[in-house]
Each structure stands twice: as structure tokens, then as C-alpha cells.
A and B are shown apart, each in its own frame.
Chain A
Amino acid sequence: MPTVVLMDVSLSMTRPVQLDGTEEFQRKNLAVHGLTMLFEHMATNYRLEFTALVAFSSLWELMVPFTRDYNTLQEALNNLEDYDKTCLEPALQGVSNIVQQEWGSTCPCQVVLVTDGSLGIGRGSLRHSLSTIKHRSEDKKFPLPFPFPAKLYIMCIANAEELQNSDTLDNLEQLLSLNGGEGQIFTVEGPLCLKNVQSLFGKLIDQAYTPFHAVLRCGNLSSDVQVFPRPEPVIMDEEVDPAPRTILTDLEIVGFIEIGDISSPPVLSRHLVLPIAVNKGFLGPTFMGTGTTDETEEENSANQMAGKSPNFCVLLHGSLKVEGMVALVQLGPEWYGMLYSQADSKKKSNLMMSLFEPGPEPLPWLGKVSQLGPTSDAKENPYGEDDSKSPFPLQPKSKRSYAQNVTVWIKPSGLQTDVQKILRNARKLPEKTQTFYKELNRLRKAALAFGFWDLLKGVADLLERECTLLPDTAHPDAAFQLSHAAQQLKLASTGDSQYAAFDHNITPMLTDFSGSGSSDRDRM
């Protein structure tokens, strides 16, 4: 989940903060202090997160595009200048554009808005934006809700008491509700000082940037892992099942499936599964993060130690890659995902986890996951002794319309094609007796269901005419079959229950000419 930090650099941020004795601070200094703490946390524990920095006043500017280089972010943060007034709406529009340009509109994002809570006066103020929200034309819509799933965290460098004097909190809450309630407003508890700002950002870190640690198990084999980005809670049906579902910290592998069998399944999200060294605790995964060069030697040697002791993730990854398989993993009650090897380039590859939609049957072609069991329980190996077979995909109970011979006559061409098929076969009687009657019966059934009795009469006439047009060389059986079929259709077109029963089939007439007629009938 990429992060956009939206930093208020309006003049009001330069207001001094009363501190006892010590040097004077601006609110901006406090905000920078808090963000520094956030960036430091991310650099150590959340290194793979992409973060962008946007500064805004009456205008907005993308200071640092999405990056994992927290030094660059920090540098830009330290060099922010002061500008004029606060105009939040264009800044939020800017954030919306930046995110969509980079990640499209399906990637969930986090927006961290840092402000002192003075949201402007008159035109361009948040209050003004919100009051005009219902009278916008299509091209000037308020940027919230964002087109992508977004969490909006509002960090107020102000305490609740001072904000209560204005309608700031009301406006911010309205902003949150415009975002579908996704996010939170944080205010400083107690007087404005470095310590309280630290605890303010500490709350944000706890809320949004704690790494997700879990244990990946396969029977008795296991590994401590970090799952990145951390999986967010999922709500399946806000009505029947409104409680958000979170994945377990105990990820249990339940079995394995070939990639061809799982067949590019739809997933909610993808995550890296990074093995972590247990003794390192919350220091995070032991890989060298991209763009970080300031690792201490101590850390490096610890990494090397961890690199040398066997880890289950590496074994699993290697075998999944070689075998072309995925591991099915249980994420919670009736919730599953898959682990597989994902190659970024020829050299680099990784253990990846994709989450399926929660539910007992996330993929129709696998069936109910709880009904998947060990092959050793089956009477015969479903994969065959030489791995030539597969029990997947599961066949649905009924066939789809395109997989069966349905009759659709909405367009005249559909009807014409079906009539011509009968005619074609009629001209090749008695060789095509079987197909002739098959097509005839298909047409008959559809005509009866649609109440299209006139068609039955029409086709009967058609067959009678064909009978008269038979060449002298024609097999004598052909004439008998044609007039028999025509007669049967005519009887059906009366709606007489004896002849118009849906399940009744017209069978070939028994003739003395050859065995073909009777043998065909046996097959019908």
C-alpha cells in the first residue's frame, strides 16, 4: 500500500509553540519531527513501502515522487519552505492524480495529511469546499472519495482543545466520511511539545505501519515470516457478515496443487513472504532493503549469520519453483490463499502469497476447499501413476449454454440455420437418418417450448415438398422417412398431448429396405 504524505506548508504552520524555557519551536518543526520519526520507522521496519511527499498551501507540489529511498524523503522534508494559505481541495485532487498515474485505480493507498488544523478562510478553505460539494458539475467534483481504495490519516499538529474553538474537527470528520469512513483523525494529547508529537505519530505507526509477522507452517516445518504489504481486513458482505476478517498469524499449509490446476486464480491481494530471524525480534526482515546504504556492519554480520542457517521458506520456495506448484495455505476459518514462487527477473525470485476471496469455495474449478484431501485417501491415484492425469478442474453440475446444443431463434438466422441443417440431412437419407432425426427432434422440442406450432407445420410442408423433389436415383427409404417425419411434425403442431409431449422423440420409421433405419432407431 503506497503512502502519500501531504504536508501543510502554509504560513499558519510557522506559528510558534509555547515551550517552557527551551528554544522556540514552530508547528512545522514539530510536524517535521513527527514525520522524521515515521520515515525512520519505515526505513527500518517497512522498507518496501513506496512513499511520496507532497507539500501544499494554495498550490501543491510533488516534492518527492514514490520512492523507497527514505533519505531523499527526509532531505526534502528538512528543506520545506513556507508558503501562503491552506487550500486542501486542490491538494487532495493532486494526490488523487499522482496515485492514479502511478498505481491505477485499484491499488489501495494511504494518505497521511499533516496540518495544524487551520484549514483556511473563505474561498479555497475546506469549509467552503464542503459547503459547495452538492453543487458541482461533473468535471469539478470534490476529489473524495478517491477513485482508489484509500485510508486517510489526518495528523493534527494541534490538540483537541484548541481545535474545539473552531469547526475544524467537524470539517475533518466530514472529510473522513466522504472517504467512506476509511481512516482516522489524530490530535495531540496534552500541550504541544516534541514528546507529545512523538506519541501522536507513534499512534499512526501502530495503526498503519506495524509490520505483519506470522509463522508459516507445513506440518512440523515452520519459519517466522513477515508478510508485506501487511494484509488488510476484508469485509465480504456488509449485511450478513459485517465483521471484517483478518488473516491469522499462524499460516498453515494444507497441501499442494499444480500451477496448471490452480490456473491463474483471481486474488484479493498479493504479498511477499519474507523469512525473518527470530532472535532479531522486531528489527524486521534481514534482507538488505533497496536504496539503503547506511546499514551498520553489525547488522550485516547478523544478516550473514541468518543467511547461513537453513530456513523453511527458502526450501519451500525452491521446490515450488522447480516443481511448478503452489501451496494452498489456510488464512482463517474458510479463508485460503496460495504460496508460490514469483520471479522478478531471471536471478531474483521470491516467495509470494496471494489471498483468495474469503469463503468455502473461492475457486469454482477447485470446489469446496474443505473437501480437498490427500491423494493417498483416494482409491486410485487421481494424478495417475505416471502423473498424466489430474482431478482438476472440477466439472460443474450443469453445462453452460455454449457447451451444449441450445436452440436460440431470436435472430432469424438462428432459425434458418437449424432448418437448413434438417434439409441438408434430409437430402442424404438414408445415410444420415440418425442426424436427420436428431436435428428434427431438437427443432421440435424448441418449437413446442416456444409455442411456435406454425413452424412445425411449416417444416412439415418443407419435408413433404422435399419428398416430391427426390430424384429417381434416391433410395426408396428416403421418401418413407420424409413423409413419416412430416406427418409426425404435423401431429405435434396440433398440440395433441399424445404427439406434442416435450419428452417424446420422433423415431425413424421401420422399413423393409435396409437395416440402417432400424439400427438407427436403436441408437436413438
Chain B
Amino acid sequence: MKMFSISHKTAFVVDHCPYMAESCRQQVEFDMLTKNRPQGVIPLAPVSKSLWTCAVECSMEYCRILYDIYPTRKLVNFIVSDSEFHILNSWNQADQSTQELMAALAAVGPPNPHEDPECCSILHGLMAAVESLCKITEYQHEARTTLMDKADRVSNRGRIICITNAKSDTHVRMLEDYVQETIQEQNKLAISSDRLMQIQQCELVLIHTYPFGEETLVSDRPKKEEEQHANTSANYDVELLHHRDAHMEFIKSGDLHPAGSTSRDSGLKETVTLKWCTPRTNSVELHFCTGAYRISPVDVNSRPSSCLTNFLLNGRSVLLEQPRKSGSKVISHMLSSHGGEIFLHVLNCTRSTLEDPPSISEGCGGRVTDYRITDFGEFMRENRLTPFPDVQGSEVAGKVPLERAKRQLERHTRYWPMIISQTTIFNMQAVVPLASLIVKESLTEEDVLTCQKTIYNLVDMERKNDPLPISTVGTRGKGPKRDEQYRIMWNELETLVRTHMGSSERHQRVLDCVLACRSKPPEEEDRKKRGRKREDREDKGEKNGKDSESERSWQESERLKAALERDREELAEAEVIKDSPDSPEPLNKKPRLEVEDVQPAEKAKGPVSLLTMWTNRINTANSRKHQEFAGRVNSVNNKAELYQHLKDENGMDPHENGKAMR
């Protein structure tokens, strides 16, 4: 594909000489019979278009179709030629509209039949067209500026469509030669200018008009870029024009000319007939679409056309099926409108190379079942994109909207556990206000207040000993005890807020609030008692507000009650953390030694830990499978006295230190 192909620039040169004022001798009846007409009224005489009117109508129709199918990058420069040339618009994108051209044409008006034909010539217009083709377009200028030293890659090609009355073949050759010479002259001038480019290629389309009928004009209209495409149904046909690529697969597969098909207008236009297909489609369905091309109806105001286009403009889509050589049919295209523009979507209708792929559940992470699907859905909705107007100078200072979108994603994912069992705070409704505010780029005073309220609320919950939604997935027993739960929750909250502390001074204040309010880690006391080596908290000195002082005594008593459960809880918590790489580093990992510290079953009057139960069960089961080692059977407190027989021999009681045999 070439960005600057011949169709980038089209110069229309329409003859405005007195000759063009002649009638085309085709009469148009405009006073049609209507049912309410009284009897005996003689219809008015039909009117007849001038050659000029025909030429203008056709060129306007060309522009209408062109602007429908290629609203940008395919430009038209309209020139009228009589005793001089009149340029009706420029290459600027803003000038590319039929309304603009119609207004300019109205100002020109029809040719004056009384003007001296000797003064008039199409050559004025052709010269203007060549000059115009040398002028750089906005797109060419932009491309040259972007490419800098490789600016010569931007080429300059164009097409001149000249509608005139050619008197003879010699006359035609004269026009061709004239254009050729003018191009050479203008190319010389173009070398020394920044605003001009040399013409590398120019296609000249001469359309000869003569009084016979508009038919000639219509079918001579060059349609290099478009092709016909008819949509048939039982009721009506709508012929649409669009880019030929929309039927690539069809053309290559040789299905284009099945026996009995008709190619309209002897090869000038290729028509593919597609059938309206009943299965409805909705916009929520994502079709595999390999191309989308704008369309334009051939007969834009006809009833069937406007029926179809209005149906589509109202937001509905139409699937189209294509006949194949074999006689079968396949859904190959879809008509759909987007923002008031109708597109012909090309659907893939061949076998997919991606068929029967492995399911995502069979791959990495496929066996995990507690993803935070809903939360991530919420996250996606918060990070939906929206268009912003293109303001000059927005590139500076990181204001490009897309860059801002990326930065927002970064902020929102600084702490984002992927599975439910990895998080406590995101399972708590009470944390939502803070969690949704802290990710913001900047906080207002009010936001800080809301965050603080959230934190106070958590403190309150802790005081009231409200349960927390701590996950028990992968843990043993009922999960950690209440104060441990709060410790985990506070740790997580701190981790979340800490990732944002650098964003602003207000973010820092939220962190300060968390640190001031969170309960003092209960294990601090334990640590001293047990004399175990533990990691020191970073914020040890910062906390201990008034609140936590008062809580201390309550916490102490609570802790004592739970003393028996302590070990297995710590164990359980370590398990949770271990499974979640994204979670904060546990502040007090215990050495694995603790596993062996399991209390004998009979000693634990309270709930027995799962590990203990399991160990006991295994031991019992194992003991049945083999004869117990005699020494262990005879042991007291797992100590067996060796060489007892020596004592026997010495007349000692053999059962003195041991238990009786079973």
C-alpha cells in the first residue's frame, strides 16, 4: 500500500465554455401525474439539462461517493475553465466537502452562451490543474516534516479528470501534449520551492461530452477505487460502492464469476451479490473481522437505499452471505454503522489456524479458583478509556491522555493481590473508601479526611472485636485468632498506603494516620517473654497513640485466653503468607522448629489442632502395621533402659522402670 498514490490528489477540470450551455437533449419530465390532480390539466413541458449541468452533477456525484468512502487523504481540487480558470477550493481537508463545492459552483453559474468561444479554452483549466498538483497537501507536508532527511520518500502523484468536448482525435492529442509539457515546465519550477513538489506521475482522464444524454457521462466516470456490491433480498436490491479489498478472498478464490453471473457495465464495475442474512447479530459480539471499509449507496436517495442506511444508522447490523462456486453459502460480510458512518466489515470465513486451542484453565494459574474476578472487573471499569480533544502542546508535561492512562494503571496496581485468599482489606467493605482514594494522583483535604475516618472506623471495629473476612483457604484449623486477624489486616493496609506515600504530602499523612492508629503488634510482649529473635518493626517508635494504650489491657486478657492456640495460629498465618508472593513480608516468621513443638494431645483440653490430630492418627495407623520396637514399648517417657537383662540376672524386678507389656 502506498500512502501517496495517484488517488491522493484529483484535480477536476470542467469546461465552462459557451458550448457547454447547450442542451444535452435529454428531457426530464418533472410535472408528474398525481392522484389529486383535477381532470384536464395539461402537464408542463419537460425540462432539459445543459451539458454543463450534466458535467457538474456527475463530478459532484463523484465527490459525494469519494468523500463517503474516503473522507480523508483523498483530495479533490475543483477547477472551472472558460476565458480564464476558476479554482473553487484548495487541497485543504477543510475544503473537502460537497456543500462547499456546490456553493462555489452556484457562484460560477452556468456558462454564458453569448461569450466569444474564441476567448475560451479548457487549456486554462488544465494548466491550473497541473500547477495545483504541484502544490503540497497538508498530508504531504506533514509526512515530509516527520521524515526530515528522508523527506524525498514522500511522492507526488495525481490525476486530472477533465470534462470537455473534444473536437477530434487531434484535439485529444493536443490536450495530452499540453498537459505533458505543462508538467515538465512546472516540475522545473517546483525544484526551487518548499511548497511545491515535482509531479512524478499523472493520470489524465478525458471525458468527452456531447449532446445525447447523461448516460455517457455516468458510465465514463472512472471508478478505479471502488467496485459495485449489491445486496439482494426478496424485496429489494441496494447497490453499494466500497473499496475493492472487501472482496479479496472472493476474488482470489475464483468465486467472483461463477457460471451465469453477470458482470455489470462490461467489466467497468465488478458486482458481487450478497444476500441479507437472517441471523441477527448484536454489538456485544466480537466478530473476527479482517477489514472494514466505508460504503456509499449508488442511488443514495432511492427508497431501498435510504431504508437500509437508516436501519444501519439506527445502530443495527446486517450480516451478509456470499454464494460460493460449490453452491454453498457462507456469512462473509457485516454492514454496521459507527458514529454515523456505515462500514462493510469483512468477516473471516475460512478455517481458523487457532482452532481447538488449550483452555486457559489448563495453563499457568489455571487451577487457581479464587481470583478476584469481580474486583478486577471493577478495576477495568475504573480504567476505561475515553477520548480527549487533541489540544496543541499537550505533548509536553506528560499530558498525553494515553500516558496518563498508563500512569493511572501503574498507581492502581501498586498493591493488587490477585486472589481472594491473599487479601483481607479488599474483602472488607469498610476499607473501600480509603482503597479507592489512595490510588488517586492527588488527594484533596476532604479525601484525607475520608481516609482518616476509614482508619478510625477500623480502629473502632478492632475495639469491638468485629470479625474480619480473613481467608481460611489453605490454612489449618479455623484460621488465625481475632487479634492476629487485625494484625494481618493492619499490615496489609499499611503495605497498600505505603506504596503511595511518595505521591504527595497528603498521601504521607494518610500513612502517618495508619501508623498512629494501628494496634501495637501483640507479639512484642511475647517476643520478650519467649526471647525469640524477631524482625523489628520499622515503625516501632512512631506508634502507640492514646488509643492503643487503652486497648492494651484488653488485648492482654484476650491474649492469655488464647495462649493454648497460639502456636498453631502462628503456623497457620505463615501458611497464608507463603502462598502469596505479593503479600507483605510477614513480620514475625517463626522458625519451622515450632512444628515439632506440638503439644501432646491429652494435654490440650481445648480444640486440638489439625496437625496434632493428623499426627496422632498417622501414628496410630502406623503402629498397627508393625510390631512396635520392644525398647519403645518398654520405655517410660520415651526412655528405655538398656541392658535390662543384666539387672534381671542380678535379681532385679524386670518391670521396675517400665510399663507392663501390652
Contacts and interface: CB of A to CB of B under 8 A. Distances in A.
B339 A394 contact: yes
A301 interface: no
B548 interface: no
B359 A419 contact: no
Contact of A221 (B108, B110, B287, B418): B418
Nearest to B155: A239
Nearest to B146: A240
A287 B153 contact: no
A349 B422 CA distance: 25
B646 interface: no
Contacts of B374: 319, 322
A242 B359 CA distance: 38
Contacts of B2: 237-240
Given A322-B374, A417-B301, A364 B385 contact: no
B401 A371 contact: yes
B249 interface: yes
A179 interface: no
Interface stretch (A22-30, A196-204, A373-381, A474-482): A373-381
B147 interface: yes
B285 A264 contact: yes
Contacts of B301: 406-408, 414, 417
Interface in A343-358: 344, 347-352, 354
Contacts of A400: 67-68, 71, 294, 296, 340-342
B405 A411 contact: no
Contacts of B387: 366-368, 371-373, 391-392, 394
Contact of A449 (B102, B350, B356): B102
Contacts of A316: 376
B36 interface: yes
A252 interface: yes
A4 interface: no
Nearest to B150: A240
Interface stretch (B46-54, B460-468, B551-559, B593-601): B46-54
Contacts of B352: 270
B385 A254 contact: yes
B25 interface: no
B309 interface: yes
Contacts of B283: 259-260, 263
B409 interface: yes
A221 B379 CA distance: 12
Contacts of A411: 299
A454 B46 CA distance: 10
Contacts of A263: 283, 336, 338
A190 interface: no
B284 A370 contact: no
B64 interface: yes
Interface stretch (B360-368, B424-432, B632-640): B360-368
Given A364-B341, A375-B384, A469 B249 contact: no
B338 A311 contact: no
A314 B414 CA distance: 19
Interface stretch (A82-90, A100-108, A162-170, A514-522): A100-108
Interface residues of B, number: 142
Most buried by B among A394, A400, A402, A424: A402
Interface in A320-364: 320, 322-328, 340, 342, 344, 347-352, 354, 364
B341 A50 contact: no
A402 B297 contact: yes
A419 B56 CA distance: 20
Interface stretch (A37-45, A150-158, A273-281): A273-281
Interface string B282-317: 011111111110101101111001100100010000
A286 interface: yes
B368 to A, nearest CB: 5
Interface string B2-13: 111000000000
Chain A interface, DSSP helix/strand/loop, else mixed: mixed
A431 to B, nearest CB: 16
Interface string B201-225: 0000000000000100010000000
B253 interface: yes
Contact of A503 (B30, B48, B103, B248): B103
Contact of A502 (B71, B102, B380, B419): B102
Given A239-B4, A317-B360, A394-B339, A410 B305 contact: no
B384 A371 contact: no
B356 A500 contact: no
Contacts of B296: 400-402
Interface in B331-373: 334, 336, 338-342, 345-346, 348-368, 371-373
B44 interface: yes
A415 B288 CA distance: 42
Contacts of B585: none
B413 to A, nearest CB: 3
Contact of B289 (A264, A395, A465): A264
**Which one of A256, A322, A414 has the highest number of Cβ atoms from chain B below 10 Å of its Cβ?**
A256
A160 interface: no
Contacts of B306: 402
A185 B336 CA distance: 45
Nearest to B412: A219
**Which of A274, A309, A399, A414 has the most C-beta atoms of chain B within 10 angstroms of its own C-beta?**
A309
B412 A315 contact: no
Contact of A370 (B64, B154, B302, B401): B401
A116 to B, nearest CB: 31
A276 B358 contact: no
Contacts of B525: none
B31 interface: yes
Interface in A216-257: 218-221, 223, 228-229, 236-242, 252-257
Contact of B32 (A237, A373, A420, A446): A420
Contacts of A351: 360
Nearest to A317: B360
A309 B365 contact: yes
Most chain A beta-carbon neighbours within 10 Å: one of B147, B361, B379, B387: B387
Given A309-B364, A372-B388, A423 B34 contact: yes
Contacts of A304: 367
Contacts of B440: 376
A393 B338 contact: yes
B98 A315 contact: no
A454 B47 contact: yes
A415 B287 CA distance: 41
B359 A383 contact: no
A256 B383 contact: yes
Interface in B409-467: 409-414, 416, 418-419, 422, 440
Nearest to A397: B71
A374 B309 contact: no
Given A370-B401, A374-B383, A469-B41, A344 B413 contact: no
Given A229-B353, A306-B363, A402-B309, 13 more contacts: A219-B411, A229-B354, A287-B363, A306-B365, A312-B418, A323-B380, A326-B286, A372-B402, A373-B388, A402-B297, A414-B301, A417-B301, A500-B106
24 contacts: A104-B351, A256-B383, A285-B363, A289-B358, A307-B362, A308-B368, A310-B371, A311-B365, A314-B364, A314-B371, A325-B381, A340-B286, A371-B387, A373-B402, A377-B401, A398-B67, A402-B297, A423-B34, A448-B109, A451-B56, A454-B47, A462-B30, A462-B31, A495-B109
Interface of B: 1-4, 28-32, 34, 36, 38, 41, 44-45, 47-50, 52-53, 56-58, 60-61, 64-65, 67-68, 71, 97-98, 101-103, 105-111, 143, 147, 153-155, 214, 218, 248-249, 252-253, 283-292, 294, 296-297, 299-302, 305-306, 309, 313, 334, 336, 338-342, 345-346, 348-368, 371-374, 376-377, 379-390, 400-402, 404-406, 408-414, 416, 418-419, 422, 440, 581
Going nearest first, the 10 A-B pairs with the smallest beta carbon separation are A311-B365, A373-B401, A104-B350, A451-B110, A219-B413, A287-B358, A393-B339, A502-B106, A365-B338, A307-B367
